[in-house]
Structure 1
Amino acid sequence: MTGPGTDTETPGSRRVALITGAARGQGAAIARHLHADGFAVVAADVRRDELAATVDALGGRAIAVDLDVTSADQWEAAIRATVEHFGRLTTLINNAGVLHRAAIAEETPAGFERSWRVNCLGPFLGIRAALPQLREADGAAVVNTCSTGAVRPFPNHAAYGSSKWALRGLTQIAAAELAPLGIRVNAVLPGPVQTPMLDPETQQRLAATGRLATPDEIAAAVAFLVSDQASHITGSELVVDGGQCLRIG
C-alpha cells in the first residue's frame, strides 16, 4: 500500500470510494473524478507502478492498494487497509475487467474461466467483503462496470459477453437484496471506450461506425450513480455507448 499518512477526519474523507482496475484508463478516470468530487479514494489494481503514478497524481486523500480481484483474501486485506487509513468505506466501484476474444470452437476452459473470475467473481467477492462497512455507511453505493456486450450478442465474445451478462444479474440481485439496508447497487454499461483494453487497430475499426467514449465520459456516469443526485436510484443500468446498441448490424 502506498499513499499519504492517515487522514481519517479530513473533510473530503466523509465518503470513501474503493475503485478496482484504477491503475489506468477508465478506472484512473473514475478515481480522478470522484477525488475531484471530494471523495477519499482507494485505488486498487495489480499494476503496481501505474497504480502508484495514478495515486501520486491525485495528491492527498488517496492511497494505492494491491488487489487481485479474484482473491477473497486480498479483498479482505484491501478493505482492512481502507478502514485503517480512512476509518470507513462508503462506496465500491467494481471496475476491473478483462476483455478476452475467441470463437467458441477455439475457446479454452482456462480462457473462459479467467474472464468469469475477473468480470463476475471479482465483483461478488468485493461486495461481500465490503458489506460490513457499507451497512454502516450513509449513502452507501456500489457501481459495477458492465458492458454493452451484455445487451447485444457480439460474435467471438463468449467468455467476455457471458461474464458481463452474469454481472448484470448479480447487480440486480444485489440491488434487491441490499436495498432494505440502504445500500444502492447500480451498473454502468459502456460501449467501446478509448482505453488500453482495446488495441489501436480495434479502436480504429470501431471508430469507423461511431465515436468511442472517453474514459472521462464513463467516469461521469459512475460519479452520478454514487452521488446524492442518484439517491433514489438502485438496480438501474446506465448505458453509455453513443447509441451503439441502437444500431443494427
Structure 2
Amino acid sequence: MPEPQTAPRPLRVLLADDSVLLREGVRSLLEDEGVQVVAAVGDGDQLLQAVAADPPDLAIVDVRMPPTHTNEGLVAALRITREHPGVGVLMLSQYVAREYASELLGTESPGIGYLLKDRITEIDGFLAAVRRVAAGGTVIDPAVVRSLLRAPEQQRLVARLTPREVEVLEAMAEGLSNRGIGERLFISQSTVEKAITAIFDKLELTGEDGTSRRVLAVLRYLEDADGA
C-alpha cells in the first residue's frame, strides 16, 4: 500500500505591531488562510525575544513601535536579518518612508518586504506578498517606487529608462516574476526579458545573478533618490 502523504507544514508567522486592533485583524486574516501565527507582540524587544525563542518563517513588523514610535520596528527587523537570516521580514508602514525601505532592502538577507498598511485591505495581494517574502523573495510597495518616480530630481541612470522599462521595474519592485509582469502589462514574456536586460544595462548592473540584479535595480531607485 502507498504510504499516506503528510500534510505540508503551515507557514509560521510572527506579528509585531502596537495596535491590538491591527494585530488581531491580520491574525484573523492569516489564520483563515491556514497560516499559523506563532506570536503577536507589541514592541521591538518582545519581537526580538519571540524570534530568538522560536524563529518563524516570517516576521510582519510595524516600522514605528514603542517607546518612541519612530523606527523601533525597523531597528529590530535589521537585527533579525543579521542574527536570523532564515527569517523573512515584511515591514508595514503607515506612510511612504524611502529611507527606511532603502536601509531594509540594502541588507543581503533573502526574504525582505516593505508595504504600506493600506495594502492589508487588498487581501489577495497582501497574502501573495506574505508568501513571497516568506519564500525568500523581495516585495516593495508600488507607492514607494511611484514616489521616487515623482521626485523632482531625475536620477542620472534611472532617467535613461523608457516608460515601458519603468513599468517593468515597478512590477519587479512588487516581486512579480517575468510571467507575472507580462500578464500585468499585457506583453509577451520575451518582451519582458528584453526590457529587464535593458534595465540592467542602463542601470549599469553587471553580474550573472539575475535575482540579485532585480533587487539591485530597485535599490538603484532608492539609493539615487535618497542621495540626490
Q: Shorter-chain TM-score category? A: 0.3 to 0.5
Q: Higher Cα Rg: structure 1 or 2?
A: 2
- The answer to which structure, 1 or 2, has the higher relative contact order (CA under 8 A, 6+ apart) is 1
TM-score normalised by structure 2 residue count: 0.33
